Amino acid sequence: MMEPWRRLPALSLKQLQYFVTLAQLRHFTDTASRLAISQPALSSALRQIEIVLGGKLVNRTASSVSLTELGVAILPHAQRVLSVAQRAFEDMQQIVDAGGDGTLRIGLVPSVSSLLFPSVPEKLAQAFPRVKLEFHDHTNDSLVAEIRDGGIDFGIGALDSAVPAELQTFPLREDAFIALIHCDDPLADSAHLPWKQLVSRDIAVFSRGNVPRLVSALVESQRLTLRLRYQVDYIETLYGLVRSRLAVAILPQLYTTHLCDPQLKVVQLQQPALARTVALMRSPQPLAPQPEACFQLLLSILRGQ
């Protein structure tokens, strides 16, 4: 039986790099100069890619370069191959240079940091002392893209319709949505708050990620008329709006795990209840033995909490 790698097309990483660089600069002379090669060598590499893929990638005139429809479609895949290859070479070089076992890149949305810190990094370091741990903050959409493109090894985020089916997901817990209210607000006396009681209030939510999508979907399904007046990027801005009595904030409860502010009151939202599923996510591509062992330990720790 033929080994799988023998069936790979006859393309090199350098040829893909030439195409990606040309797509970025849109100029043959500038691209050849950036890559320190001759223009004939660049043209030859591009022809080889087009022959292997079976289609024209670039339209070239005397004054400009543009991508064909096929070139536009191929570009993100070429970028992903180069990104994964670069990460792999960096890890291999680290093993050679430092005798280590490489770097483990873990992505997370900020709200789940309470699940990881402070104990999880210590447990991973004890089990794998030669692994360098990196933690990368992302919005949920950015996290999914980084996992898919190989920028991180795996991540912790929230499941929704924007998470592609090809990613492997491992649910950890349900994270209920709450209302964050000023302590002097009449609604702060409630243990549970129906969504309908927020209809006349100014609401603050995050502007990005799956939180506004989930809130908007519930509002639409329940035919509510909420005034989503403030859409912000940072948690402190959200807190500030509530402290100033300008808004009621709607957000997942994990964001408030370490909230210690007597001015702010957390109230459970009901009728209906809304929650997001927090999950560990990874690419379907197999991990090397060491990252795989780290992943399994992390999954065990997080599910045991």
Banded pLDDT at 54 (limits 50, 70, 90): confident
pLDDT at residue 95 tops 70: no
pTM, entire model: 0.68
- Lookup: tokens for 229: 């007046």
* Residues 150, 80 contacting (CB under 8 angstroms): yes
The pLDDT of residue 97: 55
Q: What is the mean pLDDT of the chain?
A: 89
The pLDDT of residue 175: 97
Contacts of 259 (CB under 8 A, 6+ apart): 239, 266
The pLDDT of residue 5: 45
User: Of 109, 108, 81, 86, nearest to 11 (Cα)?
Assistant: 81
Of 1-10, 174-183, 292-301, give the lowest mean pLDDT range: 1-10
Tell me how far apart the alpha carbons of residues 134 and 114 are, in angstroms, rounded to a whole number.
16
The pLDDT of residue 209: 83
Banded pLDDT at 87 (limits 50, 70, 90): confident
The pLDDT of residue 7: 52
The pLDDT of residue 275: 96
pLDDT at residue 72 tops 80: yes
Higher pLDDT, 243 or 52: 243
The pLDDT of residue 289: 82
pLDDT at residue 99 tops 50: no
* Residues 105, 134 contacting (CB under 8 angstroms): yes
Banded pLDDT at 98 (limits 50, 70, 90): very low
Of 59-68, 71-80, 293-302, give the lowest mean pLDDT range: 59-68
Q: Average pLDDT for residues 101-117, to the nearest whole number? A: 89
pLDDT at residue 100 tops 70: no
The pLDDT of residue 224: 92
Counting residues of the chain whose pLDDT is more than 70, the rounded percentage is 94
pLDDT at residue 210 tops 50: yes
pLDDT at residue 245 tops 90: yes
Q: Average pLDDT for residues 48-74, to the nearest whole number? A: 88
The pLDDT of residue 3: 52
pLDDT at residue 146 tops 90: yes
pLDDT at residue 255 tops 90: yes
* Residues 88, 277 contacting (CB under 8 angstroms): no
Residue type at 159 in one-letter notation = L
Sign of torsion, CA 121 92 148 281?
Answer: negative
The pLDDT of residue 6: 53
pLDDT, one tens digit per residue, over 18-33 is 999 999 999 888 898 9
